[in-house]
Structure 1
Amino acid sequence: MGVKGRFGNRSPLPGDIHRRIETLPELLKGKGVILAYLFGSLARGEEGEDVDIALLSDSPAYELRVPIMEHLGTERVDLIDLKTAPLDLKMRIVREGKLIYKRSDEDENRFEMDVIRKYLDFEPIMRRRFELLKRRFGA
């Protein structure tokens, strides 16, 4: 089910959603959050139907879901836990996302370098798997 299916009958994002996102670090500070990224359409500067946020946190990201939704004034929040996210999604978030909170430069560098290193190590395997699937299904 896509975004429209999940959020079809919900109200649109608040008109001041960008201001609310800018003030989100105030909420995250002191809550065990190590890194927070905005990704997806809003991070690309496009009009979005939801707010895509990825968190690296000492505790499970879902524990911050309700406070984040309340702060942003919308239920249209897709929250990704970077501890459990697939490697290709982590790489996309690091590459295309906008870092909106970091506990420290060291945390940012350690996480991003770890994701990039693992992705580069695993990318040839993913590419080979994709080619095999393409051949198998005739795409």
Structure 2
Amino acid sequence: MQTGLFPLMLLALAGGAAGCVPEGQGMSAQSAFKPSYMGVETRLLDSDLVNFVVQMQGARGQDDVANYAECAAAQYTLIRGYGFARHVRTNVAQEGGVWRADAVYTISPALPRGVQTIDAEVVVAHCTNEGIPTV
């Protein structure tokens, strides 16, 4: 009878341990993420080449501010009547608690060549779900 309980006790212990998260991580850290999106500056560099400069506070790192720039690029792509964009480059910097991304994208009506392409409608929908503002 004890041999039947031992695997169950191990399972219970493993299940309890799997739910353990070190303090400062997990749901409480995620709920503490309260970014402040400070706007987008858009510069048309050529007919299909666009520069986006975004700023925000409260970013958890470079990815948050780069995602904000991608959201702006996706919405701008739709505004121009196109469906796709290709990421060219993003430079990210932080100064005094303000994160800044300077990103360049090409926009096009058809899926461009390259590996860093985005479907603007899909990205805008994702940004909306994540609460990231667009242009």
Q: Which has the higher strand share?
A: 2
TM-score (norm 1): 0.28
The structure carrying a bigger helix percent of its residues is 1
